[in-house]
Chains A and B, each alone.
Chain A
């Protein structure tokens, strides 16, 4: 899955996905849950807090 595909499925821009991947932006809970739903995993598998 490309960044653009993930962005389209989640409803954000590709630049937002890039910022999330680079740990430069923390998405809202809604976006975080949507991302985990796309990958069909739990939220904790995608995001962690440190």
Chain B
């Protein structure tokens, strides 16, 4: 099966995103309820650096194997389409978080509901928003992969 450089690149990015940020978020949310202290930006910064290092290394190796690959109009069209879907997904997630913040603070609702408890702390809101961004990136990669393999 002939897999293009772009498809391989997307698979690598998807796996790295799920492995690094997915692992981090699972580790954070498994410690529910989150403590009241602000999140550790240093650990997240280290994760971002590792993500960038692995991405650069693996994409460099892929580029060596595919020396003449270029991004053409179809790749750009698929990328724009996927970014559009990811944008709407992110908007939906952000409205969901905002709605829960409103319910938790304005209406004074408190319950054992997972999201309502999470948005009660800055740590929780921070990691919920991070989950939204990571999920939107996953939607972006999956949509691009789908269109590269199946349609367009």
Contacts and interface: CB of A to CB of B under 8 A. Distances in A.
A19 B75 CA distance: 12
Given A13-B74, A13-B75, A14-B2, A19 B69 contact: no
The 3 closest A-B pairs by CB, nearest first: A12-B72, A16-B74, A15-B4
Given A12-B74, A14-B4, A15-B74, 4 more contacts: A12-B72, A24-B151, A25-B152, A27-B74
B152 A28 contact: no
Interface in A1-26: 8, 11-16, 19, 24-25
Q: Which of B6, B73, B74, B148 has its CB near the most chain A CB atoms (within 10 A)? A: B74
Contacts of B65: none
A16 to B, nearest CB: 4
Interface of B: 2, 4, 6-7, 68-70, 72-75, 148, 151-152
Given A19-B152, A24-B151, A24-B152, A13 B72 contact: yes
A11 B72 contact: yes
A41 interface: no
22 contacts: A8-B68, A11-B70, A11-B72, A12-B72, A12-B73, A12-B74, A13-B6, A13-B69, A13-B72, A13-B75, A14-B2, A14-B4, A15-B4, A15-B74, A15-B148, A16-B75, A19-B74, A19-B152, A24-B151, A25-B152, A27-B74, A28-B73
Interface residues of A, number: 13
A46 interface: no
A16 B72 contact: yes
B73 A27 contact: yes
